[in-house]
Amino acid sequence: MAIREISIDELADKMAADHTLRLIDVREPDEYESGHVAGAELIALGTVADNIVALRGDGPVYVICKSGGRSMRACEFLDEQGVDAVNIAGGTMTWVMSGRDVVMGDQPS
């Protein structure tokens, strides 16, 4: 099965329409703390398997990283585990380049 993927523009639209959207950032803590999309929860790629229970639930999990590679790997793993995961193409780097704000620090918002 092919992994679904959306652009950062589509993510922004979905976030505006659905304030319960689950966005997971799979970068390392130092990357996350230096700037992440507001509302993104940090679950570093190396810990995704340890957090599989928390990632299960209603609706899709949107997964983001720096540029889309690590998030795609996370989505492939999640898909194998039966989790509906959607990759964010271009990642946080594209989000920043589009002029959108990021949150600094270790908290989602």
CA nearest neighbour of 4 among 54, 49, 44, 61: 61
Residue 75 is a catalytic residue? no
Hey, which residues does 42 pair with through a beta bridge? 25
Give the number of other CB atoms < 10 A from CB of residue 81: 13
Residue in 37, 64, 65, 72 annotated catalytic: 65
CA nearest neighbour of 6 among 81, 80, 52, 61: 61
For the annotated catalytic residues, the residue numbers are 65
